[in-house]
Amino acid sequence: MAEGDDKPVVNNNQPTEAQVGLSQQILAGAVADAQAPSKDLRAAPDSAMTRMKDVTVDGFKKIGDGFIHSLDPDLILPNVAIGAAIGAGAKLILPKSGPVGAIAGVALGGYFVAKPLVETYHGAYVARTMEDMNAASSLLGDTIGGMPVTMLEAGIGAKIGSSLMGKALATEAAQPFMAWKAAQYKALDGGLMRGVEGAKTLGLRAAGIESTFHRHGFIPEHVFDEIARRNAGNPDLLKSIERARASNLQIRLEREGLAPGKTENHNGAREIYDAQGKEVDGVLARAEGQKPTGKSDVDLAYDYTGDIRGFLKDVHGRNSIDGKGMKMLSTVNYGNNFENAFWNGIRMTYGNPGAQSPFKTFVMRVIAGHEVEHGVTQFEAGTVYRNQPGALNEHFSDVGGVLIDMKALGQKAEQYHWQVGKGIWKENIKGEALRDMRKPGKAYDDPAIGKDPQPAHMDQYNPTRGDNGGVHINSGIPNRAFSEFAVNVGGNAWEAPAKIWYDARARAGSTPSFSQFAFETLESAKRLGHTDLVPKLEKAWADVGVKPAETAPLHLRNFIPIFSTFGGAAPGSDVGVSR
């Protein structure tokens, strides 16, 4: 080094500070590896099937360990938090009920169960070493073993998240969103149900059993069955009943196939047509504002339709059946010996019973109200016509029919007879009506027509597959609940009780169980300012064995009714049996 040069001499053989630190890290890692349990680096079995089988066997052996692992306190808060997020998200996104919402809910729940199982067997499929196999079987053991605790923790979180989100969505600010969501799911449910019903129809036609499931009119199928069985020696009556059966099938399919479309606002203008004994829509006999014709059925149908229109407007502020002012069309004198009355999605039609028929007439205010209420339900809620939702659909129509009749007569709840179709039977038949809402099962009992099969309590619920899952039979249960509630409230049943039921129907979705609908009636009472009536509502539901619940009890006959055609009893069995 030259004189005066003061630069230090660097010895390149000495390690730098960074190099020392790296060496220490490598040494620490080596020590840790030496202390850790040795990894099993043996090759996994060559066969993918063998790997999956071995992982399954080992995974089940580790279920006990999985349960112990799930008790780790450090996992409680994360699981509760995840459950809360799922509960809040489901409440925000999914509807309360309806087939689309039910399918989405099942898919959401299935995802969290299926995801670790898929990861387990994917891990087994791609495993290269026994260490990979061990990791996959441990995941399976933790998944199955930890499921009870994890589900409990997540369930608690989901309840918390759902409750908090429910309170947020109940605010006035959230109502536009809730209305938009309900409209979207209603449209999706309607499209799905029409598609499913179409597919069912094709399948049932191919199997030759379609008539077992798809019949509808005011006179239910079990009544036809009993009349036919008890009058086997009366060919004229049997012929008219079979013709009504055939027409019932077409009526039902037409009604379910209709999609709500645009209608002009006619303010519910009435048009009454006379079929003159033919099975056609008929010729116009009397239009809105025209004078009486002198034909009894035409003029009665005109007056009854006016009562219905006035009820919808005065009580519910509703402009006609669809709420948009659609014309109110009716046809009288339909067919020759046609044993029924029906709403086909567009018009009300009254059959013309023959001389051999046990029925006196179908042109009655309560029948008109009942059938047109099917239209209101169609547009307002789209309630599925099967099992408990279907029984509620029939129940809504019975409630609407008697309330319209009651208001027109000016009778209070405690004065009214609460019979649906009072006077429908001819004088030689021992019967008061087709149904009795306060006394289900007591409307008629005669050797020529059989006995009223309606149950009055859930203990007697009939799980028949006939009558679309007992829609005309099991409706006796909610019928009794409403009539008892209205009588206990007293006064005009078309006021507070009617408004509570109307609001609850719109909010219950398309597939409510009895329990779900009961819950909605309680919520509607509170929302409409009738908190004082809640105890009477609770008693009415308790008296028929229905426990209000926001979520339907998990039962095949309640759960996703679109699949329930193939559950329950054999076709046509147990229809008249109360259990």
Active site amino acids: 371, 472
Whether the CB-CB separation of 226 and 576 falls below 8 Å is answered with yes
Largest CA distance in the chain: 141
Of the candidates 183, 205, 323, the one whose C-alpha atom is nearest the C-alpha of residue 253 is 205
DSSP state string for 83-129:
HHHHHHHHHHHS-SSSHHHHHHHHHHHHHHHHHHHHHHHHHHHH--B
Return the axis-axis angle of helices 476-489 and 514-527, rounded to nearest 10°: 20
Going by their DSSP bridges, the two strands 341-343 and 347-351 should be labelled as: antiparallel
What's the rounded Cα separation, in Å, for the pair 404 and 373?
10
Closest CA to 244 of 345, 342, 371, 356: 342
Q: CA geometry: angle at 115 spanning 118 and 110, to 5°?
A: 115
Query: How far apart, in whole angstroms, are the C-alpha atoms of residue 328 and residue 304?
Result: 11
Helix (H) or strand (E) holding 341, with range, is strand 341-343
Contact 336, 354 (CB under 8 A): yes
Residue 487: closest CA among 578, 570, 412, 383: 412
End-to-end CA distance of the chain, in Å? 113
Q: How far is CA 86 from CA 57, 83, 161, 165, 472, in A?
A: 32, 5, 7, 11, 38
- Whether the CB-CB separation of 105 and 162 falls below 8 Å is answered with no
Determine the Cα–Cα distance for residues 154 and 150; give it in Å rounded to an integer: 6
The three-state (H, E, C) secondary structure of 259-294, written as one string = CCCCCCCCCCCEEEEECCCCCCCCEEEEECCCCCCC
